[in-house]
Amino acid sequence: MIQKISRILAPLYSDPGIRMVVLYRIDGVPIFTKMNGPKHELASILYWLEKQIQEMLCYIFNRNLNEANFKFGNTRILMYPVSRTLVLSIMTDEETSMYKLEVDIKTACIELGRLMGYEG
């Protein structure tokens, strides 16, 4: 399963402009993580994300929040629900075209949803 997830997310994490791709379970546990660049640089953001994730997930699933977007300096974090139990989080630098990335994230979410048997 992890291999299949990795294959679906490969077009995203192989992009040098994307610093991190994480697939979270509803309880906030990451089930797939891929980082581009030094881990210590991303650690503080990961720590912050871990604290936010459960509340975010609550909003996404109980209040129909479609997506969430945070910006720290030149780092942006995007969160998109994949299914009723999974959220895809992408960390990117500010030079990445957000319009195009949004299309690719949606494609990845549809692929992941299909893999999980979730039809949206």
Partner 1 sequence: MKAKVVFSPSNVAKDAYKEIVRQLDELDFSPNFLLLFFTEGMLKNREIIISAFKKRFPDTKMLGCVVEAFVVGNRIWTRGVAALLAEFDGQVEVFWARERGATSTIEKLGEKVGSGWDAILLMFPAFYFPGKFGLLKGFLNDRRYYGKFVKEKSYDEKIRILREYSNYLEGASLLFPVNRVLRIMADKTGGNTPIIGMNLMPLYATSNTPLILADYREIQPGAAAICFKGRVNTIFHDVFPERGNSYEETFEIIKSVYTSVERVNVIKGGAVMGDVNGLTPTKFIKTKIRGFKELSQEIFLKEVEDGKLQMVSPYGLAFISKDTFGASSVGLFPYPISLYPSLFDLGEVYEDAIFYGEFFKGGVKKFGQIFENKMQETTFDFFIMDCNTIMSYGGDIYTLVEILKKNSARWFGIFLSPPSAYLPSVSKKYLVEIENRICYNNCGTSAILGFI
Is residue 100 a contact point for partner 1 (CB under 8 A)? yes
- Of the residues 49, 86, 105, 112, which one makes contact with partner 1 according to CB under 8 A: 105
Is 33 within 8 Å of 21 (Cβ atoms)? Answer: yes
Query: What is the C-alpha to C-alpha distance for residues 86 and 77, in angstroms, rounded to an integer?
Result: 16
Query: What is the C-alpha to C-alpha distance for residues 108 and 102, in angstroms, rounded to an integer?
Result: 10
- Of the residues 14, 44, 54, 69, which one makes contact with partner 1 according to CB under 8 A: 14
Is residue 119 a contact point for partner 1 (CB under 8 A)? no
Q: Return the number of the residue (50 or 102) whose C-beta is nearest partner 1.
A: 102
- Of the residues 4, 71, 84, 106, which one makes contact with partner 1 according to CB under 8 A: 106
Total Cβ atoms within 10 A of residue 120: 10
| Residue 63: DSSP 8-state | S
Binding positions for partner 1, rule: CB under 8 A: 10-11, 14-15, 95, 97-107, 110-111
